Amino acid sequence: MALISDFVDLVLNFNLLVDKLKFLIKPNKMRIIQNFFLLAFILVACNQQQLQEAPALTSWNDGNAKQQIVNFIEQTTSASSADFVEVKDRIAVFDMDGTILLEKPHYVLFDFAVREMNKRMHENPELTNKQPFKAIAEEDWNYFKTVGYMAETGIYSVLLYATDGFTNEQYQSAVNKYFDEVIDERFQQSYKKLVYKPMLELVAYLQHHQFQVYIVSGSDPQFTRSFCEEAIGIPVNNVIGSTVLTKFEEEVGQSNLVRQHEFIQPINDEAGKPVNILNKIGKVPVIAIGNSKGDYHMLQYSKNAPISLQMLVNHDDSIREYKYNHQELSELCREKDWVEISMEKDFAVIF
């Protein structure tokens, strides 16, 4: 509150000066001067908290990506700008896995689901004779690349098999236990700690400028909601994901929501993302950020806004994180006029 304190001192000193010189100043002019200082004091007081709390992108190296962010925010939040965006229309959407959260060696939700399936196979060994249980028992991760994500025994089916019949409470308990107990082998931390610091700063930076920030992820929204507020700073009601159908069941004295072997369509990946953005938010985002071809449709959809920014996190740093698909994605950014965020060049730190 230093700025307010200094300004109060200035006003008090000015009033003392006015008292001493009031015989030289006409009453009507004195009132104008005093009203000016009163108005200025009110404006400073109202804006001081916002000025003090403005987050900085300190974990970003100076470069094109950082400058594009700063320029876009100035362009869309300055009332005098021709590209000014009303607060109600300031929508930003982020993919999660690989954009905010580590996604190697496996997607975090997939890792959770695999562990739950292993428990089921331990109780019923005959399950290992059929897919996708067989691939998991043999740790044949390439199998899931051959069948496609949305296939009957693909990567999305793993979550359904892993949590069939769970009540909402049972599922939440299993997720909480996972985040409390499981440690990444390489980085030796819980996955809820393995979020990219530059992206956390970007989320806070956008929120400071009155953007509503949403996670739009292929992962189960309940899974994401279990840590998004604490780890990322995004409220649970701003999460869109691939939702497992639940069925209301009532017994004497209690009721439950029970997970079924079915997703509510469309699954929140690829072309499903813009559909769910429209269904859940009802507006076209002006900022869209992803990290893979699965985010292609979301980024392209955001171009329907009068002014927009598309960014792609490119994993090109094998020393501090992982390197994969980087050349292909770099070319895609150039082709689609998206801003490339290079982990190696743009991130001063990773976590």
| Whole-angstrom distance, CA of residue 235 vs CA of residue 228 | 7
* SS3 category, 342: strand
d(CA 337, CA 331): 10
Instruction: Give the integer Cα–Cα distance in Å for 178 and 113.
Output: 10
Backbone angles phi, psi at 91, to 5 degrees: -115, 130
For residues 249 and 261, give the distance between their C-alpha atoms in angstroms, rounded to a whole number.
15
- β-bridge partners, 97: 101
- Report the relative pairing of strands 244-251 and 239-240 from DSSP bridges: unpaired
pLDDT at 49 over 60: no
**Crossing angle (nearest 10°) for helices 197-208 and 64-77:** 10
Cα 293 → chain centroid: 17
Give the pLDDT of residue 253.
83
- The string of pLDDT tens digits covering residues 90-104 is 999 999 999 999 999
Are the CB atoms for 112 and 175 separated by under 8 Å?
yes
Give the domain ranges of the chain. Answer: 2-52, 64-103+192-252+264-346, 108-181
Report helix angle 168-181 to 108-123, nearest 10: 110
Task: Note the pLDDT of residue 55.
Answer: 79
Torsion over CA: 222, 226, 228, 233 (sign): positive
Average pLDDT taken over every residue of the chain: 91
Q: Among 249, 114, 117, 112, which residue's Cα sits nearest to residue 174? A: 112
Question: At residue 167, does pLDDT exceed 70?
Answer: yes
pLDDT (tens digit, 9 = 90+) per residue, 333-346? 999 999 999 999 99
Confidence of residue 152 (pLDDT cuts 50, 70, 90): very high
pLDDT at 50: 47
pLDDT per position as a tens digit, 182-219: 999 999 999 999 999 999 999 999 999 999 999 999 99
**25 compared with 274, residue with greater pLDDT:** 274
Question: C-alpha angle 280/282/286, rounded to 5°?
Answer: 105
**pLDDT per residue over 106-146, tens digit each?**
999 999 999 999 999 999 999 999 999 999 999 999 999 99
Judged by DSSP in three states, 37 sits in helix
The whole-angstrom distance between residue 48's C-alpha and the CA centroid of its chain comes to 27
The pairing of strands 91-94 and 212-216 is parallel
* Pairwise CA distance, residues 300 & 270, whole Å: 11
Report whether 110 contacts 217 (CB < 8 A). Answer: no
**To the nearest whole percent, how much of the chain has pLDDT over 70?**
85
d(CA 92, CA 208): 12
3-state class (DSSP) for residue 213? strand
Distances (CA, A) of 222 to 173, 180, 225, 227, 313: 11, 16, 5, 9, 24
The CATH topology of domain 64-103+192-252+264-346 is: Rossmann fold (3.40.50)
Tell me how far apart the alpha carbons of residues 308 and 143 are, in angstroms, rounded to a whole number: 38
